[in-house]
Amino acid sequence: MNRPLPHRITVLALAFSALFLCARPTRATDIMGTISNTMVISDDSELVGDVTCTVTNAPCIAFGASGIKLRLNGFSITGSATDCTASTATDGIDAVGQHDVAILGPGLVQKFAVFGIALIQATKVRVEGVTMTDNCFSGIILIATTDSDIERNLSVRNSMHSGGNPCGGT
């Protein structure tokens, strides 16, 4: 038996509605464990566990796109600089040349041979609620970065290796 056209349209409309109602929002990229090569993030990402970084001469995590967020979710990103005499040039998190990115705490960025967080030639960056400690130079460095919000962060015991050019917190 053929159903009338209005009935078919109703069934079709309900099927499409179910697709939209059951669709899940896009999930962030989950990060945890050991990172041995720079992790370039291109979409919203979040820590789901502590991170140990063994990268040398490059950042541990780098923003590879504008308009994204990195949520630390109360976890830590830990480098391998223990006495700041090693010659590795490693940052914790880099946002170079990006626009409208965010690093959101709470969370801890610690023990990196250079900077905890490096913001270079970036605009509209938001860093909020992050603790940076025991990084050999600055907790956060801003170079040619404009129109950004750096607020409610804590920087402790950084700049241990900056000698005559102390960098310190930010």
pTM of the prediction?
0.81
Residue 8 lies in a domain: no
* Listed residue (155, 106, 163) closest to 133, CA to CA: 155
Distance CA 116, CA 90 (A): 9
Domain residues for the domain of 74 are 28-156
Residue 63 lies in a domain: yes
pLDDT for residue 82: 79
Q: State the virtual CA torsion across 70, 76, 77, 81 in degrees, nearest 10.
A: 150
Residue 18 lies in a domain: no
Residue 132 lies in a domain: yes
Residue 161 lies in a domain: no
Q: What's the domain count of the chain?
A: 1
Please give the chain's pLDDT, 170 residues, in tens. Answer: 555 555 545 443 444 344 334 434 445 799 999 999 999 999 999 999 999 999 999 999 999 999 999 999 999 999 998 777 766 789 999 999 999 999 999 999 999 999 999 999 999 999 999 999 999 989 999 999 999 999 999 999 887 666 655 565 55
